[in-house]
Amino acid sequence: MAEYDFNQLKALFINCTLKKSPRTSHTRGLMQHAIDLMEREGVDTQIVRLVDHDVPPGVYPDMREYGWEKDEWESIFNMVMAADILVIGSPIWLGEKSSEAKKLIERLYAMSGKQNEKGQYIYYGKTAGCVITGNEDGIKHCSSSILYALQHIGFTIPPQADCGWIGEVGPGPSYLDEESNAINTEFTNRTLTFMCYNLMHMATMLKNNGGIPNYGNSVPQWNKGERWAFRKT
């Protein structure tokens, strides 16, 4: 491990389970393996269970200005901004990501009008992946939706940035249920491992590179009329 030093990286894991603490979250169960792996590699990790916080839906930075009594979003947003790596975990319900995952994307998106000091969208220079669990079907559909949204607002998606576990088709045991024997699913373990390392490598590359250069993607420069090599003809 000498060759790769991930000690300067920070990773934030946001668990979008529908279950409040202290109920058992199978999604958290699988995310924990990614957290542990990164911790062993020296990454500073944090985890948030979104449903435990008073975060209303909405597309503004502070929903208290729009009729909601409480809004704890700012503190979570600050954790996102402090992180190099964001991993969203979601359970599958009816083949799609949870409503908490969609709410998280809406709130992240609501900040994307902000720019970093280079005039780029605020999440440029960060990298992201996702962890999906269910007992039946839908890992790729959920991942597709989550990873698309994240690249759209500025995150870089490295190769194979998603992983997940589902059981046999139809209702059945969940990830942490003993009878699922899910921890021995080598496919899930391998894709989780590759995801973690690809996120750490990409975060390192982006950090060493000072993020993504702003030549060709600066919003204020575009607004001032700069077009770089784009021509209408």
Sole residue written with tokens 């979601």: 90
Q: Provide the minimum distance between the beta carbon of 25 and its own copies in the complex, in angstroms, as a whole number.
A: 12
User: Cβ(13)–Cβ(34) under 8 Å?
Assistant: yes
Q: Provide the minimum distance between the beta carbon of 82 and its own copies in the complex, in angstroms, as a whole number.
A: 19
Q: Which is nearer to its own copies, 28 or 103 (CB)?
A: 103
Q: How many CB atoms lie within 10 A of CB 15?
A: 28
Q: Provide the minimum distance between the beta carbon of 198 and its own copies in the complex, in angstroms, as a whole number.
A: 6
Cα angle: 98, vertex 21, 99; to 5 degrees: 15
Q: Which is nearer to its own copies, 8 or 209 (CB)?
A: 209
Six-digit token string for 13: 């894991």
Q: Which is nearer to its own copies, 8 or 144 (CB)?
A: 144
Q: Which is nearer to its own copies, 81 or 194 (CB)?
A: 194
Q: Provide the minimum distance between the beta carbon of 177 and its own copies in the complex, in angstroms, as a whole number.
A: 15
Tally the C-alpha atoms within 13 A of residue 12's C-alpha that lie toward its C-beta.
18
Read off the amino acid at residue 189. N
Q: Residue by residue, what is the 3-state secondary structure of 160-175? A: CCEEEECCCCCCCCCC
Q: Provide the minimum distance between the beta carbon of 196 and its own copies in the complex, in angstroms, as a whole number.
A: 7
Per-residue DSSP letter, 121: B
CA–CA separation, 17 and 134 (whole Å): 11
Q: Which is nearer to its own copies, 40 or 78 (CB)?
A: 40
